[in-house]
Chain A
Amino acid sequence: MKEMSSRTATGLVLLSVILTSCAQLLFRISMQGLPLLESLASGDVASAFSLVTSSGLVMLAFGIALYAASMLSWIFALSRFEVSLAYPLLSISYVLVYVGAIALPGLDETASLLKMIGIAVIAIGVAVISLGERRSST
């Protein structure tokens, strides 16, 4: 493929981060409504089967699809960026998942000062890495 612009590749990294975060949130939601493993562990196979048709499983499948899409977008981005540059940026998804879990109903995540500090420290790291790239590219 023709070398994509670094702006396009940055967009693909962000797309991948957003898709991964949505997938993680869907996993969390579906696990709340899907005590499948518990049913299986307790030997209650009948109720485990009835859960297969539940909405939790639909969300799980949707989450897996988003995860696959995220992986494709990620590999396209990696064709342009070094992995030691791109991979740390995936940490942005920790922040997005946290914010999503606070904002979405049903995921009882509460805001905490310590997590805000963690977000700030991650943001500083991302800023330092992008600053370094800007320097080396000029």
Chain B
Amino acid sequence: LNYFFLFSAIVLIAFGQITQKRASEVFSGFDRVIPAMNALLRSGYFWLSVLFLATGLAAWLIALSSIEVSKAYPLLSLSFAVTALLSRWLLHEKISGFRWLGIASITLGATIMLIA
């Protein structure tokens, strides 16, 4: 069950990024920052991203209360790869070999840092 919360946290954080990207699309058509911010605060995707990130944080904190930090943190860095997969699926982003290689290296480096 605790791993359920951990993987929920990873997926929720990834969805948080996807919805932030969607929210950023409201900026097209605005020349000034203030009206653009107004549009952002009225965007459903923005509040959805806040919801995803807040529930992701809550799930992460619940998971941390029972999973050892040295196991939980490396798994959290999977969120880079999950975000990439979701962005390909939902946003149709093309992910080059360079990006996959970079993401793999960053995931490995983050894992090393988080358990060290």
Contact = CB atoms under 8 A, between A and B. Distances in A.
A125 B109 CA distance: 8
Interface stretch (A17-25, A28-36, A47-55, A111-119): A111-119
B110 A79 contact: no
A105 to B, nearest CB: 22
Nearest to B37: A72
Interface in B1-60: 17-18, 20-21, 23-25, 27-31, 36-37, 40, 46
B31 A83 contact: no
A77 to B, nearest CB: 8
A115 B116 contact: yes
Given A82-B91, A84-B93, A114-B112, A1 B103 contact: no
Contact of A75 (B24, B91, B96): B24
Interface in A79-132: 79, 82-85, 87-88, 91, 94-95, 98, 112, 114-115, 117-129, 131-132
A76 interface: yes
Nearest to B28: A1
Interface in B79-116: 80, 83-84, 87-88, 91, 93, 95-99, 101-114, 116
Contacts of B102: 88, 125-129, 132
Interface of B: 17-18, 20-21, 23-25, 27-31, 36-37, 40, 46, 77, 80, 83-84, 87-88, 91, 93, 95-99, 101-114, 116
Given A83-B18, A117-B116, A123-B109, 13 more contacts: A1-B31, A2-B31, A75-B40, A76-B27, A79-B25, A83-B87, A91-B77, A118-B113, A118-B114, A121-B105, A122-B113, A127-B102, A128-B101
Interface of A: 1-2, 71-72, 74-76, 78-79, 82-85, 87-88, 91, 94-95, 98, 112, 114-115, 117-129, 131-133, 135-136
28 contacts: A2-B31, A75-B24, A76-B27, A79-B25, A82-B21, A83-B83, A83-B91, A84-B83, A85-B99, A88-B99, A88-B106, A91-B80, A94-B110, A95-B113, A112-B116, A117-B112, A121-B106, A122-B113, A124-B109, A125-B108, A125-B109, A126-B102, A128-B102, A129-B102, A129-B103, A129-B106, A132-B98, A135-B98
